[in-house]
A and B are shown apart, each in its own frame.
Chain A
Amino acid sequence: MNFSVLQFPASNCDQDAVHAARLLGHSARLVWHKDTSLGDTDIVIVPGGFSYGDYLRCGAIARFSPVMQAVKQFADNGGLVLGLCNGFQVLTEAGLLPGALIRNRDLQFHCENIYLKTLTTDSPFTNKIPTGKNLRLPIAHGEGCYFADEPTLASLKANNQILWQYCDAAGNVTDKANPNGSLQNIAGICNERRNVAALMPHPERACELILGNDDGKWIFESVIAALKSKPALAVV
Chain B
Amino acid sequence: MSIIDRIIILTRLPPPFIPNFTGASMKAKIIITPKKAVLDPQGKTVQNALAHMGYTGVTGVHIGKYIEIDLAPGTDKAAAEKAINDAAHKLLSNPVIEDYKLEIE
Contact = CB atoms under 8 A, between A and B. Distances in A.
A69 B12 CA distance: 27
A102 B38 CA distance: 9
Interface string B38-71: 1101100100000000000000000000000000
Contacts of B97: 100, 102, 147
Contacts of B37: 149
Interface in B2-30: 2-4
B91 A64 contact: yes
B84 interface: no
Q: Label chain A's interface by main secondary structure.
A: loop
A19 B94 CA distance: 33
Contacts of A57: 94
Counting chain B residues whose Cβ lies within 8 A of the other chain, the interface size class is: 10 to 19
B42 A105 contact: no
A93 B94 contact: yes
Contacts of B41: 103-107, 181
B96 A147 contact: yes
Interface in A134-160: 145, 147-149
Given A64-B3, A102-B38, A149-B37, A107 B94 contact: no
A64 to B, nearest CB: 5
* In the A-B complex, the 7 residue pairs with the closest CB atoms: A100-B96, A100-B97, A64-B2, A105-B41, A107-B41, A100-B94, A147-B38
Contacts of B2: 64
A103 B91 contact: no
Contacts of A105: 39, 41
A211 interface: no
Contacts of A148: 96
Interface in A80-106: 92-93, 98-100, 102-106
B3 A103 contact: no
Nearest to A150: B37
A159 B94 CA distance: 24
A104 B97 CA distance: 14
B92 A56 contact: yes
Nearest to A148: B96
Nearest to B35: A149
19 contacts: A56-B92, A60-B94, A61-B91, A64-B3, A64-B4, A64-B91, A98-B96, A99-B96, A102-B38, A102-B39, A102-B97, A104-B41, A106-B41, A107-B45, A145-B39, A147-B38, A147-B39, A148-B96, A149-B37
